Amino acid sequence: MPAFEGLRLTEIKPRHIKNWYDGPHPEGQWSFRRACMRLKAVFRSATTMSMDGSPPLLKDNPFIFPIPPEPDSVREDIPSVTPKQLRVLAENMPDYTRLTVFLSTLAGGLRCGELCGLQVGDIDLDNKILRVRRSVNRGHLDRGEARFAKTKTKRSVRDLPIPDALVDMIREHLHTFCDLDDPTSPVFVPRRVKVMSQTTLEAQFARARKKAGRYDLMLHDLRASHATLLMLKGGTLREVMNQLGHASEKVAIKHYQRVVAEHQRQIVNLLADEFLQEAYAEGTQTDSLEDIVNITEQRVRELTRMIADFKQAIDELNLAS
């Protein structure tokens, strides 16, 4: 590393590391974090006896500083897709991959690789179940042809309920584009190769998002939209984890944190609208507008306390995980 140029490993002291650690990092916070992890691992190895019994190079590890936390992703602030935007996205996808945007947004938040990996036998329309059993990649060095592969994690293998509203759409897609006699036939059949690649699907989506006016949107963001929309409709933390195949609560908690402000505004508006409508519908002479406002404000304060409790529960879950 340039910061330690001219120094042998045994000559690097905590003060040298601190100068680098506290200095500017134009390479970005993610790269800085990875560099810290690698450097700490190198020094840890240098303080360990070799397999042949040779003594360690160093007595103590000079990297005595904390590994920086994971930086917040800028993608966490991307707004969810709206119904009209989803329609425009679908209309501007090729007909043989149009279904992908609906599955990702409304049926389990499938990852791009999971969409490409779907086979005819994974879809049970009689019981309205979609089975996620594989993904797609290009092999160990990411240089070969697209091929079926294992899912991202064990938790990614899951059975998802198919919404009633999508059943006919899925059935039409299968009859139009797929070989129904072969359960291993891809659900999304590419034009010139055997397996749909993530690169191809993402490129198609990139063109469609321009038509929808959502230049900020990535295909993976539809997965986040599914999580957000599910929570706004009352989905629990466990339900969201099961739907999206999250292996850790931390990721699902981030979605909850993203939802709190939006949900707060919605329920406060709903409360005020319904309360005032009911108050005026009664046509009472004793309740003045000031009384109605005071009562409504009291309910809003109660609701705000409930949301504060909700945020505290999220923080506790964050610490526990």
Q: Which pLDDT tens digit goes with each residue over 106-143? A: 998 899 999 999 999 999 999 999 999 999 988 776 67
Q: Which amino acid, 41?
A: A
Instruction: Give me the CATH topology for the region 76-235.
Output: hpI Integrase; Chain A (1.10.443)
Q: Within 10 Å of residue 213's Cβ, how many Cβ atoms? A: 11
How large is the average pLDDT for residues 1-25? 91
Domain boundaries, the chain: 2-71, 76-235, 249-320
Per-residue pLDDT, 49:
86
Is-contact 63 40, C-beta < 8 A?
A: yes
- Which alpha helices (DSSP H) does 159-197 contain, by range? 164-177
**Mean pLDDT in the chain?**
83
Alpha-carbon distance of 318 to 136, in angstroms, equals 31
How large is the average pLDDT for residues 14-20? 94
Per-residue pLDDT, 66:
92
Instruction: Band the pLDDT of 316: cuts 50, 70, 90.
Output: low
Per-residue pLDDT, 90:
95
How large is the average pLDDT for residues 258-278? 66
**Would residue 15 be called left, alpha or beta, if left means φ above 0 and alpha means ψ between -120 and 50 degrees?**
alpha
Per-residue pLDDT, 285:
47
Alpha-carbon distance of 147 to 111, in angstroms, equals 16
Q: Which residue has the higher pLDDT, 279 or 272?
A: 272
How large is the average pLDDT for residues 247-256? 61
How large is the average pLDDT for residues 55-76? 82
**% of the chain beyond a pLDDT of 90:** 48
Residue-wise burial string across 181-194, b where 16 or more C-beta atoms lie within 10 A, e elsewhere: eeeeebbbebeeee
Per-residue pLDDT, 94:
96
How large is the average pLDDT for residues 74-89? 83
Per-residue pLDDT, 19:
93
